[in-house]
Amino acid sequence: MQYTLLAKDKNSEARCGVLTTAHGEIHTPVFMPVGTVGSVKAVHMRELKEDIRAEIILGNTYHLYLRPGTEILQAAGGLHRFNGWDRPILTDSGGFQVFSLTGTGRKITEEGVTFRSHIDGSKHLFTPENVMDIQRKIGADIVMAFDECPPGTSDYNYARHSLGLTQRWLERCVARFDETAPLYGYEQNLFPIVQGCTYRDLREKAAEHAVSLNRAGYAIGGLAVGEPAEVMYEMIDVVEPFAPADKPRYLMGVGTPSNIIEAVSRGVDFFDCVMPSRNGRHGKLFTWEGTVNIMNEKYITDDRPISESCNCPVCRNHSRAYLRHLFKADEVLALRLAVLHNLWFYNELMAKIREALDDGTFADFREKYSGNLEKRA
């Protein structure tokens, strides 16, 4: 895996580049559609490639481990062959999902985490070692370390204890990953996750430790979990000086279009979030003019596209009135069209950010759109 820097903004830490993987190139900054169980909800792989033009998608270790299970994935030759996606894949370690299972008998020890499946209540154990083994069997190009995800409201003592556990688990992840080989004949790469809640000294300690392990890239986790956006940006600023310039940085689970623009200005390269697909399934649509709630009665006879500045397949072929009708009729096509539009918009957002970085106009782009794209159109 090789990251090549192509352009750097003179007014901020923003940059664009290209990451070369075994399954193709990823042009950064990039947004990764979330394909939790091996599919992006309501979207076909052909649409992801040809319409949305996604270069990488995200899968989730917790969900894929429980269903369909690693035996089935390994028998198929890995997730790429199982779901028919021939471009890069990143898998989250499942840590966030496991630690979200509060009230289900979840137990954290030095060894790992014991939890019960949300599907059938069966009991399971995740350790740094077996999470690496599971991700080898899934076969993603980029795999994430197993970490503890403390609540965003954690006090300092808990956050410090949690970070210590995450760092010890990270060292075990690295050891296990390095002593095992890819199963399907192509390179995989492990990204550490920098935790530390909203405490500057813990974030610095976490970043320094992660970088000392000399991996192919680094992630920032534990943000966008309820803290104010300004605090999230502050934590990115704390971590950024530690991040090597020749390796990609990934901000996990973020976010709104404005969050993405602001994080790009702070040197972040990779993003993922369920927001475009989840909001789309509820009729909330992103446009360059602001957000559209397609369920609003004012669109009942509106024959305009969702956005007249959008060139996605939905806006080229359908009206607001028609899409509203589909939602009101509980027609499944409504979900497909809305998600397709939102993911197309997010990909277009990243393309325009890269274009602005390439031609030196990112500062103007940021001033025009940051803080405005979430306003109602």
Backbone angles phi, psi at 61, to 5 degrees: -60, -45
- Structure tokens that stand for 25 in this block: 């190139």
- Spatial distance between the Cα atoms of 105 and 101, rounded to a whole number of angstroms: 8
CB 78 within 8 A of CB 138: yes
What percent of the chain clears pLDDT 90, i.e. is strictly above it? 94
CB 211 within 8 A of CB 237: no
Backbone angles phi, psi at 20, to 5 degrees: -95, 125
The mean of the pLDDT values for the chain is 97
Distance of CA 338 to the CA centre of its chain: 19
13, 235, 260, 276, 345 from 224: Cα distances, Å = 20, 11, 11, 15, 21
Report, as residue numbers or ranges, the catalytic residues: 92, 272
pTM of the predicted model, to two decimals? 0.97
Sign of CA dihedral 267, 273, 277, 279: negative
Nearest to 291 by CA among 277, 307, 278, 303: 307
Domain boundaries, the chain: 2-273, 280-369
Residue pLDDT, tens place only, 145-166 = 999 999 888 999 999 999 999 9
Sign of CA dihedral 203, 209, 212, 214: negative
pLDDT at site 141: 98
SS3 sequence of 47-74: HHHHHHCCCCEEEEHHHHHHCCCHHHHH
Residue pLDDT, tens place only, 242-275 = 999 999 999 999 999 999 999 999 999 999 999 9
Residue pLDDT, tens place only, 185-226 = 999 999 999 999 999 999 999 999 999 999 999 999 999 998
Nearest to 86 by CA among 167, 22, 169: 22
Residue pLDDT, tens place only, 293-312 = 999 999 999 999 999 999 99
- Spatial distance between the Cα atoms of 24 and 9, rounded to a whole number of angstroms: 25
> Quick one: fold of 2-273?
TIM Barrel (3.20.20)
Distance of CA 281 to the CA centre of its chain: 18
Q: pLDDT band for position 140 (50/70/90)?
A: very high
Residue pLDDT, tens place only, 27-62 = 999 999 999 999 999 999 999 999 999 999 999 999
Strand partners, 60: 92
**DSSP conformational letter for 297:** G
- Spatial distance between the Cα atoms of 332 and 138, rounded to a whole number of angstroms: 30
pLDDT at site 22: 98
